[in-house]
Chain A
């Protein structure tokens, strides 16, 4: 076993030197803005300008505005649902890529990558065309005559449409992380499980699933974080009736030009996202420790 330096032990001076460029970059363009953002929340907005007053007024208004917390809850719920939807769609795709279509997996990866690289706003508008009252989905349903001629799914500009958009846009993250962890599972392990008397289902449950869990969790984290900050999908597909945090923050900064409040909302979103991730991580660790 390689000897690992315990945390807090003496760090070689050379290592500090190597870390300096990356560290200063992080500090200047990540640490400093966050501190500024935090300071901004204690100011006030007067005539669309920031007034340096040092008060808790912004925070008081944040905690006394139920619509903000409703938006936060909605964002959390949407993100959790997006993680579930992405997992449900990505796992079979990744599994088939690794097991059944391994001869074509390079082609499939390329296709997914292209879909991933094409502009997100454009793709999201594509969903509008698909879901619209006179869109492709309704047209197909009517053409198949499974619904009356004036039928409308009514999906466009709803939360469901937003969820669809978020799921579609973030799906590649989940597919790739699960694909990587699945392809790292040695096939001999499954054969060893069969040799031990396991059925295919049992071997999948006992071997494949636990071994690809890190990939599932990493994909889940990607999807969750990106979904918490999503903006385009809600704006294009959601219709703006039930705003999520991203929309709220954008409006506060851009339309209302209330920077202290915008900063406070950002801090709230940031904190809740990190806290949720931490709790989820702790729970998973606890669950895995038990088995």
Chain B
């Protein structure tokens, strides 16, 4: 059982009536190379879902299949309970914001936003009224209406693309990495705006990005993909603190991933024997293990313990459970935090982070005792599936 699919099924059972989008067993191959392998994905009405994965994970292809720009080899797409698998983009209740925005360069801002309305056959006054409404919603100044896309700034172009995609009040707004080409500051502003827009219009958003941090900021639920498969579909908190496997864990931040040798039952739950400076052991609750990892009181597959750098710190005492000695190798000032990288006797690298500018805590080359918050540790699978 894949953890991602497991969660997906439970979600569907809980909110079957309120499912706006349902992708069932969707597969797609390009020239015999599979890009989507039997994907199941359910999205609830009004939800903001982010599809995240490295390039080649199939996230964009899945989005394009949902939008009708690509046809699946197998599987079905249901929107609002209606099977739209064979429908053209024009006949689907979806609006798309393209990666390069795809604003019509020869049309004014007004004509771009009004194009779907004009095609719908709305009379010109109704088109003008709705365009004005959308421009107000996107904070686009009215006197810009006659400008061509190239006369607008990057942020304004984004907003025009959003307005055009929202013009026909779609059931689902599809966003194909529209922020990837922007500089960091503008990106942050637009993330806030998109989040805000989602709250205002109440439309379901499906946002593709390769940036998990962006997904965490924006989405209610995140679907992490790799090699055409869903690795985990969960809330940002679960993705960060309870990743389904080492890949998901490493997708954001720089977690410490320590191989787990074996587990034994004890009074708290399980004692994990770790392969680092000697054989350290750590006691964990049964809830601190990824789903399906423990079968009959033993590890079902290779596992590792994830410790986020912010949950490791310098210890005042040496030795004992939940601590180890390491030699400081690197110190980075990151502004709000200071990051250390240290190496244990067995050659394992541990990174830890403390609040504030604290490079005074240790010197490079110094051997220091480390301890961690065992409650924040999580044992996850090394490999997906």
Q: Say whether, besides A195-B67, A195-B89, A195-B94, A207 and B120 are in contact (CB < 8 Å).
A: no
User: Are A196's CB and B151's CB within 8 A?
Assistant: no
Q: Which residues of B contact A196 (CB under 8 A)?
A: 90, 115-116, 119, 164, 167-168
Q: Say whether, besides A191-B69, A195-B67, A186 and B90 are in contact (CB < 8 Å).
A: no
Shortest B196–chain A CB gap in Å is 23
User: Are A191's CB and B105's CB within 8 A?
Assistant: no
Answer whether residue A210 sits at the interface, using C-beta atoms and an 8 A cutoff: yes
* Residue count of chain B within 8 Å CB distance of chain A: 26
Q: Which residues of B contact A199 (CB under 8 A)?
A: 90
User: Are B151's CB and A192's CB within 8 A?
Assistant: no
Q: Which residues of B contact A210 (CB under 8 A)?
A: 106
Shortest B271–chain A CB gap in Å is 55
A189, A192, A193: most-surrounded residue (chain B CB, <10 A):
A192
Answer whether residue A194 sits at the interface, using C-beta atoms and an 8 A cutoff: yes
User: Are A186's CB and B102's CB within 8 A?
Assistant: yes
Q: Which residues of B contact A186 (CB under 8 A)?
A: 100, 102
Q: How far is the CA of A199 from the CA of B103 in the complex (A)?
A: 18
Answer whether residue A211 sits at the interface, using C-beta atoms and an 8 A cutoff: yes
Q: How far is the CA of A198 from the CA of B105 in the complex (A)?
A: 17
Q: Which B residues from 19 to 70 make CB contacts under 8 A with A?
A: 67-69
Q: Which residues of A contact B116 (CB under 8 A)?
A: 195-197
User: Are A195's CB and B96's CB within 8 A?
Assistant: yes
Q: Which A residues from 178 to 237 make CB contacts under 8 A with B?
A: 186, 188-189, 191-199, 202, 206-207, 210-211
Answer whether residue A16 sits at the interface, using C-beta atoms and an 8 A cutoff: no
Answer whether residue A28 sits at the interface, using C-beta atoms and an 8 A cutoff: no
Known A-B contacts: A196-B115, A199-B90, A206-B115. Give 18 more (CB < 8 A).
Answer: A186-B100, A186-B102, A188-B98, A188-B102, A189-B102, A189-B104, A189-B105, A191-B89, A192-B102, A193-B104, A194-B68, A195-B90, A195-B95, A195-B96, A196-B90, A196-B116, A197-B168, A211-B106
B contact residues vs A (CB 8 Å cutoff): 67-69, 88-90, 94-96, 98-100, 102-106, 115-116, 119-120, 151, 164-165, 167-168
Q: Can you spell out 28 A-B residue pairs with CB atoms less than 8 angstroms apart?
A: A186-B102, A188-B99, A188-B100, A188-B102, A191-B69, A191-B89, A192-B96, A192-B98, A192-B103, A192-B164, A193-B115, A194-B88, A194-B90, A195-B67, A195-B68, A195-B69, A195-B89, A195-B94, A195-B95, A195-B116, A195-B165, A196-B90, A196-B115, A196-B167, A197-B120, A202-B119, A207-B104, A211-B105
